[in-house]
Amino acid sequence: MKVSFLFLLVGFWFTVNCQTPSFPENWIGNWKGELTWYKTGKNEPQQVSMELRIQPTDISGKFTWQIIYGSATIDNRPYILVAQDTTKTHWVIDELNGIVLDQYWVGNKFCGAFTVMGNTIVNNYWMENDKLMIEFYSIGTTPVATTGKGTQESPSVESYSIRSYQKAVLDRGK
């Protein structure tokens, strides 16, 4: 009897604690906070208020993905988040101007990478202690160095400049 109860208790714990978070349903809300922008070669970071509004739409599998920097009258980006597969692993952010960014659910993070105007942007979004954490890396697309001998034992390796790093911590508004 005690062994059966122990197995039931352990099974319940694994069920509750090991489930993958439901994305984006558990992320729905109006998130607000500060974005800190570090630029290579600059001593002081730039601070910008940031919002991310994630809401369901009338169409199944689509959500708003509205990013606001500063205020809605300064920099308002009303995008749409769309599931690309039934496993909810592959998503796109449709900027509604012909630009569509592929994103992926990997290791409990919402991640993507794209190149625009000589910069590759790598982004990560994840939940931590009921806060929405966001990171963006801006990486130059032209190698600053190529090292290695170009052999199997020492393959050629290209290094790239990190131009900036941005980090935001957002709280869900009530």
Q: Tens-of-pLDDT digits for all 174 residues of the chain?
A: 544 433 433 344 333 344 445 899 999 999 999 999 999 999 999 999 999 999 999 988 899 999 999 988 999 999 999 999 989 999 999 999 999 999 999 999 999 999 999 999 999 999 999 999 999 999 999 999 999 999 999 999 999 999 999 999 999 975
The domains of the chain, with CATH numbers, are 21-172 (2.40.128.20)
Q: Burial of 98 by CB count in 10 Å (0-12 exposed, 13-18 middle, 19+ buried)? A: exposed
The pair of three-digit structure tokens given for residue 94, joined into one six-digit string: 């449709």
Q: What is the pLDDT of residue 115?
A: 98
Query: Could you tell me which of 73, 149, 136, 142 has the C-alpha nearest to residue 110?
Result: 136
User: Cα(143)–Cα(157) distance, rounded to whole angstroms?
Assistant: 10
Q: HEC profile for 74-130?
A: CEEEEEEEEECCCCCCEEEEECCCCCEEEEEEECCEEEEEEEECCEEEEEEEEEECC
User: Cα(120)–Cα(137) distance, rounded to whole angstroms?
Assistant: 8
Q: Are 165 and 136 in contact (CB under 8 A)?
A: yes
Amino acid present at 16: V
